[in-house]
Amino acid sequence: MQIISDIQQMQSLATSLKREGKRIAFVPTMGFLHAGHASLLREGRRRGDVLVLSIFVNPIQFGQNEDLDLYPRDVERDCRIAAECGVDIVFTPDAAGMYPPGFQTGVTVREVSLPLCGASRPGHFDGVATVVAKLFNIVQPDLALFGRKDYQQLAVIRRMVLDLCMPVEIVGMPIVRETDGLAMSSRNAYLSQEQRRSALCLHRTVVAARKMFAAGERRVDVMRKAAQETIGQEPSVSIEYVEFRDGATLEEQEIVDNATLLALAVKIGQTRLIDNTVLGEEL
Ligand code: PAF
């Protein structure tokens, strides 16, 4: 496994791999890998000739009051996991290389970025779209894999790739959960034992909503109230949003269907957690 920090070196290696006809599979991450990332890497390994993992805590997707400095990092451990998953190249650029003095270009994906997490994290998805566009230009992947836990991020990236004719297949991978249902996230590391227990209300809400849908309920107001009540049973959890939206456009709906996304965001102490499900989707 090769570890490359230099942007030009990564880009020229990718160019020569492509010339040799190699199919590059790419998993962009901010590191602190968990089983969710491992599932992306294993699928990437299966689909590509060369598997590239990037680890870069992207400063421009963090807001002023967010946890950039505190964001968990452990590159050594990440490299061990990467090796176990069959990664060929770990790309670890630094912020000075990615955003040199004078940097002034960004990618904005408009409507899809605005609701849900975009409403409380203005500029976040501009930062994500910009860094992913840059990483795609450097790594030149044939396919890139993203977790569906960050559903809106995936929708933003799909839209960007479509709108800007980027020659990259985007693969959305199912949410990986702990045995008790908590969706895997690097931010789970911040939770105390008690907070972690409270966080299970997210999965309970997802399960209950899917049951209501399977039993025939279609009214968003009824389903939203039930979801809010389930989360409300945990006094230490504050709701940021409970939303039912079209799974592709993220537009609001009054009546749900198979493709409706239930998206949840809560705060437990200082930690912000998200979860989601597409109501009619087989798990
Ligand atoms: O999901 C993440 O880890 C990040 O948002 C991404 C896609 C690597 C961009 O920095």
Residue 19's CB: how many other CB atoms inside 10 A? 8
Nearest CA to ligand 1 atom 9: 128
Q: Same domain for 167 and 196?
A: no
DSSP 173-235: EPPPB-TTSPBP-GGGGG--HHHHHHHHHHHHHHHHHHHHHHTT--BHHHHHHHHHHHHHTST
**Position 178 in a domain:** no
Question: What is the average pLDDT value for the chain, to the nearest integer?
Answer: 97
203 is catalytic: no
Supply the CATH number for residue 81's domain: 3.40.50.620
Q: Please give the pLDDT value at position 65.
A: 85
* Residue 252 DSSP symbol: B
Between the CA of 123 and the centroid of ligand 1 the distance, in Å, is: 14
Mutate to test the pocket of ligand 1, among 56, 99, 153, 168 (most ligand atoms within 8 A of CB): 153
Please report which confidence band the pLDDT of residue 97 belongs to, taking 50, 70 and 90 as the band edges: very high
User: How far does residue 252's CA lie from ligand 1's centre (Å)?
Assistant: 25
Do residues 64 and 115 share a domain?
Answer: yes
Confidence (pLDDT) at 223 = 98
* One domain for residues 135 and 261: no
Is 167 in a helix, a strand, or coil? coil
Q: For 67-87, what is the mean pLDDT?
A: 95
The domain boundary residue, chosen from 122, 144, 173: 173
Residues 125, 249 within the same domain: no
The token pair that represents 211 in the structure block: 């049951």
- Judgement on whether residues 165 and 192 belong to the same structural domain of the protein: no
Which residue's CA is the nearest one to ligand 1's atom 8?
A: 29
Are 232 and 155 members of one domain? no
Does residue 282 sit within a domain?
no
Q: Which residues have CB under 6 Å of ligand 1?
A: 28-30, 58, 61, 128, 131-132, 150, 153
Domain assignment present for residue 180? The answer is no
Helix (H) or strand (E) holding 36: helix 35-47
Q: 36 and 159 share a domain?
A: yes
Pair 240, 136 in one domain = no
Nearest CA to ligand 1 atom 1: 29
pLDDT digits (tens, 9 = 90+) for 103-123: 999 999 999 999 999 999 999
With respect to residue 247, please indicate whether it lies within any of the assigned structural domains: yes
The candidate with the shortest Cα–Cα distance to 198, out of 240, 242, 236, is 236
Please tell me the total count of domains within the chain: 2
Rounded Cα distance, 208 and 242, in Å: 13
Range of the domain at 252: 186-277
Would you give the end-to-end CA distance of the chain in angstroms? 33
Q: How confident is the model at residue 99 (pLDDT cuts 50, 70, 90)?
A: very high
Residue 181 lies in a domain: no
Which of 173, 196, 230 lies at the terminal end of a domain, its last residue? 173
Residue 89 in 3-state DSSP?
Answer: strand
Same domain, yes or no, for 196 and 119? no
CATH number at residue 244: 3.30.1300.10
Same domain flag for 135 and 7: yes
